[in-house]
Homo-oligomer: A and B are copies of this chain.
Amino acid sequence: MPYPAPFRPFGVPETNDPDVQDDPKIELENDDLWKTFHKIGTEMVITKTGRRIFPAYKAKISGLDKKSKYILLLDIVPCDDCRYKFHNGKWMVAGKADPEMPKRMYIHPDSPCTGEQWMQKPVSFHKLKLTNNISDKSGAAILNSMHKYQPRIHLVRASDLLRMAYSPNKTFVFEETQFIAVTAYQNEKITQLKIDHNPFAKGFRENGGGRGKK
Protein backbone atom coordinates (compact mmCIF):
# COMPACT_ATOMS: atom_id res chain seq x y z
CA MET A 1 0.00 0.00 0.00
CA PRO A 2 1.72 3.16 -1.17
CA TYR A 3 -0.13 5.43 1.23
CA PRO A 4 1.14 5.01 4.78
CA ALA A 5 -1.39 5.46 7.53
CA PRO A 6 -0.46 8.68 9.26
CA PHE A 7 -2.09 7.98 12.60
CA ARG A 8 -2.02 5.54 15.46
CA PRO A 9 -4.16 2.51 14.54
CA PHE A 10 -7.30 1.39 16.29
CA GLY A 11 -6.88 -1.38 18.81
CA VAL A 12 -4.03 0.26 20.67
CA PRO A 13 -4.89 0.39 24.40
CA GLU A 14 -6.50 3.71 25.10
CA THR A 15 -5.99 5.31 28.47
CA ASN A 16 -9.09 7.41 28.27
CA ASP A 17 -11.73 4.80 27.42
CA PRO A 18 -10.20 1.31 27.28
CA ASP A 19 -13.61 -0.37 27.01
CA VAL A 20 -14.56 0.96 23.60
CA GLN A 21 -14.77 -1.77 20.97
CA ASP A 22 -14.78 -0.80 17.32
CA ASP A 23 -13.51 -2.04 13.98
CA PRO A 24 -14.27 0.70 11.46
CA LYS A 25 -14.96 -0.11 7.82
CA ILE A 26 -15.70 2.23 4.95
CA GLU A 27 -16.94 1.55 1.46
CA LEU A 28 -17.78 3.92 -1.37
CA GLU A 29 -21.49 4.50 -1.85
CA ASN A 30 -21.11 5.14 -5.59
CA ASP A 31 -18.26 2.76 -6.32
CA ASP A 32 -19.62 1.73 -9.75
CA LEU A 33 -19.53 5.28 -11.04
CA TRP A 34 -16.02 5.87 -9.75
CA LYS A 35 -14.84 2.70 -11.49
CA THR A 36 -16.45 3.77 -14.75
CA PHE A 37 -14.40 6.97 -14.63
CA HIS A 38 -11.28 5.21 -13.38
CA LYS A 39 -11.23 2.80 -16.32
CA ILE A 40 -10.90 5.73 -18.70
CA GLY A 41 -8.69 7.88 -16.51
CA THR A 42 -10.48 10.31 -14.21
CA GLU A 43 -9.83 14.02 -14.62
CA MET A 44 -10.90 16.75 -12.21
CA VAL A 45 -11.04 20.38 -13.23
CA ILE A 46 -9.28 22.83 -10.95
CA THR A 47 -9.99 26.58 -11.16
CA LYS A 48 -8.99 29.76 -9.41
CA THR A 49 -12.21 29.93 -7.38
CA GLY A 50 -12.46 26.18 -6.81
CA ARG A 51 -14.38 23.39 -8.51
CA ARG A 52 -16.16 20.46 -6.88
CA ILE A 53 -15.05 16.92 -7.50
CA PHE A 54 -17.37 14.71 -9.51
CA PRO A 55 -18.35 11.97 -8.84
CA ALA A 56 -19.00 13.08 -5.29
CA TYR A 57 -17.03 11.29 -2.60
CA LYS A 58 -19.68 9.35 -0.65
CA ALA A 59 -18.67 6.97 2.13
CA LYS A 60 -20.70 4.27 3.86
CA ILE A 61 -19.28 3.75 7.34
CA SER A 62 -19.76 0.73 9.61
CA GLY A 63 -18.19 -0.93 12.61
CA LEU A 64 -18.06 2.13 14.85
CA ASP A 65 -18.91 2.24 18.52
CA LYS A 66 -22.37 3.81 18.61
CA LYS A 67 -21.80 6.13 21.53
CA SER A 68 -18.22 7.22 20.92
CA LYS A 69 -17.44 10.34 18.97
CA TYR A 70 -15.51 10.30 15.72
CA ILE A 71 -13.98 12.86 13.41
CA LEU A 72 -13.92 12.25 9.66
CA LEU A 73 -11.32 13.85 7.42
CA LEU A 74 -10.31 13.80 3.79
CA ASP A 75 -7.07 14.81 2.21
CA ILE A 76 -5.65 14.56 -1.30
CA VAL A 77 -2.05 13.51 -1.77
CA PRO A 78 0.17 13.11 -4.85
CA CYS A 79 0.25 9.59 -6.32
CA ASP A 80 3.79 9.88 -7.60
CA ASP A 81 6.60 12.20 -8.51
CA CYS A 82 5.55 12.82 -12.13
CA ARG A 83 4.07 15.45 -14.34
CA TYR A 84 1.70 14.13 -16.99
CA LYS A 85 0.52 15.11 -20.44
CA PHE A 86 -2.32 13.84 -22.62
CA HIS A 87 -0.89 12.78 -25.94
CA ASN A 88 -2.42 10.73 -28.76
CA GLY A 89 -5.41 9.87 -26.59
CA LYS A 90 -3.35 8.66 -23.63
CA TRP A 91 -1.89 10.02 -20.45
CA MET A 92 1.90 9.81 -20.41
CA VAL A 93 4.60 10.83 -17.99
CA ALA A 94 6.06 14.18 -19.05
CA GLY A 95 8.76 14.91 -16.55
CA LYS A 96 9.25 15.42 -12.87
CA ALA A 97 6.53 16.78 -10.61
CA ASP A 98 6.31 20.44 -9.70
CA PRO A 99 6.69 21.37 -6.02
CA GLU A 100 3.58 20.61 -3.98
CA MET A 101 1.86 22.99 -1.58
CA PRO A 102 1.55 21.70 2.00
CA LYS A 103 -1.59 19.57 1.99
CA ARG A 104 -4.63 20.60 3.96
CA MET A 105 -7.02 18.32 5.82
CA TYR A 106 -10.65 18.76 4.91
CA ILE A 107 -12.68 18.15 8.08
CA HIS A 108 -16.13 16.79 7.38
CA PRO A 109 -18.47 19.53 8.62
CA ASP A 110 -20.47 17.10 10.81
CA SER A 111 -17.36 16.33 12.88
CA PRO A 112 -17.19 15.47 15.68
CA CYS A 113 -20.27 13.30 15.93
CA THR A 114 -21.31 9.91 17.32
CA GLY A 115 -20.63 6.59 15.64
CA GLU A 116 -24.36 6.01 15.49
CA GLN A 117 -24.88 9.17 13.43
CA TRP A 118 -21.95 8.50 11.10
CA MET A 119 -23.31 5.03 10.32
CA GLN A 120 -26.90 6.19 9.90
CA LYS A 121 -26.56 7.33 6.29
CA PRO A 122 -23.79 7.71 3.70
CA VAL A 123 -21.49 10.64 4.37
CA SER A 124 -20.78 13.02 1.49
CA PHE A 125 -17.86 15.32 0.85
CA HIS A 126 -19.63 17.10 -2.01
CA LYS A 127 -18.71 20.57 -0.76
CA LEU A 128 -14.99 19.96 -1.09
CA LYS A 129 -13.43 22.03 -3.87
CA LEU A 130 -10.21 21.84 -5.85
CA THR A 131 -8.15 24.83 -6.89
CA ASN A 132 -4.85 25.76 -8.47
CA ASN A 133 -4.80 29.06 -6.62
CA ILE A 134 -1.92 28.91 -4.14
CA SER A 135 -3.38 31.91 -2.28
CA ASP A 136 -6.74 30.21 -1.74
CA LYS A 137 -8.38 31.08 1.58
CA SER A 138 -11.69 29.28 1.05
CA GLY A 139 -10.50 25.89 2.25
CA ALA A 140 -10.22 24.27 -1.17
CA ALA A 141 -7.55 21.65 -1.82
CA ILE A 142 -4.61 23.22 -3.66
CA LEU A 143 -3.31 20.97 -6.45
CA ASN A 144 -0.96 21.14 -9.43
CA SER A 145 -2.47 20.82 -12.86
CA MET A 146 -1.38 17.76 -14.89
CA HIS A 147 -0.43 15.84 -11.75
CA LYS A 148 -2.01 12.66 -10.41
CA TYR A 149 -3.67 12.57 -6.97
CA GLN A 150 -5.20 10.16 -4.49
CA PRO A 151 -7.95 11.18 -2.06
CA ARG A 152 -7.81 9.52 1.37
CA ILE A 153 -10.28 9.31 4.20
CA HIS A 154 -9.21 9.38 7.83
CA LEU A 155 -11.41 8.30 10.69
CA VAL A 156 -10.42 9.37 14.19
CA ARG A 157 -12.06 8.37 17.46
CA ALA A 158 -11.97 11.64 19.35
CA SER A 159 -14.58 13.86 20.95
CA ASP A 160 -12.64 17.03 20.26
CA LEU A 161 -10.50 18.42 17.46
CA LEU A 162 -7.84 19.30 20.00
CA ARG A 163 -7.35 15.68 20.99
CA MET A 164 -7.26 14.43 17.41
CA ALA A 165 -3.50 14.06 17.15
CA TYR A 166 -3.36 11.63 20.07
CA SER A 167 -6.38 9.49 19.24
CA PRO A 168 -6.88 6.11 17.57
CA ASN A 169 -7.39 6.40 13.85
CA LYS A 170 -7.56 4.56 10.56
CA THR A 171 -6.95 5.60 6.98
CA PHE A 172 -8.95 4.38 3.98
CA VAL A 173 -7.73 4.58 0.41
CA PHE A 174 -9.78 3.75 -2.68
CA GLU A 175 -7.62 3.56 -5.76
CA GLU A 176 -10.59 4.02 -8.06
CA THR A 177 -10.81 7.62 -6.84
CA GLN A 178 -7.40 8.60 -8.21
CA PHE A 179 -7.52 11.41 -10.71
CA ILE A 180 -5.40 13.81 -12.73
CA ALA A 181 -5.98 17.50 -12.04
CA VAL A 182 -6.56 19.58 -15.19
CA THR A 183 -7.59 23.14 -16.00
CA ALA A 184 -9.52 21.88 -19.04
CA TYR A 185 -10.59 18.34 -19.85
CA GLN A 186 -8.18 16.45 -22.07
CA ASN A 187 -10.04 13.20 -22.77
CA GLU A 188 -13.42 13.83 -24.36
CA LYS A 189 -14.69 10.50 -23.02
CA ILE A 190 -14.30 11.96 -19.55
CA THR A 191 -16.10 15.12 -20.62
CA GLN A 192 -18.98 13.00 -21.89
CA LEU A 193 -19.15 10.95 -18.67
CA LYS A 194 -19.32 14.14 -16.63
CA ILE A 195 -22.08 15.52 -18.84
CA ASP A 196 -23.99 12.25 -18.64
CA HIS A 197 -23.88 11.93 -14.86
CA ASN A 198 -23.47 15.36 -13.28
CA PRO A 199 -26.91 16.97 -12.90
CA PHE A 200 -25.36 20.44 -13.13
CA ALA A 201 -24.14 19.65 -16.64
CA LYS A 202 -27.56 18.57 -17.87
CA GLY A 203 -27.63 21.49 -20.29
CA PHE A 204 -24.98 19.80 -22.41
CA ARG A 205 -26.82 16.51 -22.83
CA GLU A 206 -28.03 15.75 -26.35
CA ASN A 207 -31.47 14.68 -25.18
CA GLY A 208 -31.74 17.38 -22.55
CA GLY A 209 -32.72 20.20 -24.87
CA GLY A 210 -29.26 21.66 -24.38
CA ARG A 211 -27.08 23.00 -27.14
CA GLY A 212 -25.37 19.69 -27.79
CA LYS A 213 -21.70 19.12 -28.31
CA LYS A 214 -20.79 21.13 -31.44
Chain A contact residues, CB within 8 Å of chain B: 1, 3-7, 9-10, 12, 73, 75, 77-78, 80-81, 97, 100, 102-103, 105, 154, 159-162, 164-165
Given contacts A5-B6, A7-B164, 6 further A-B contacts (CB under 8 A): A3-B3, A6-B6, A6-B103, A6-B105, A12-B162, A159-B160
Question: Contact at B7–A162, with CB atoms within 8 Å?
Answer: no
Oligomeric state, in copies = 2
| Nearest neighbor of A6 in chain B, beta-carbon distance | B6
- Complex contacts, A162 vs chain B, CB 8 Å: 10, 12, 159
Q: Which of B77, B159, B164, B165 makes the CB contact (< 8 A) with A4? A: B77
Question: Contact at A80–B1, with CB atoms within 8 Å?
Answer: yes
Please give me the 3 A-B residue pairs with the lowest Cβ-Cβ distance, nearest first.
A6-B6, A4-B103, A7-B165
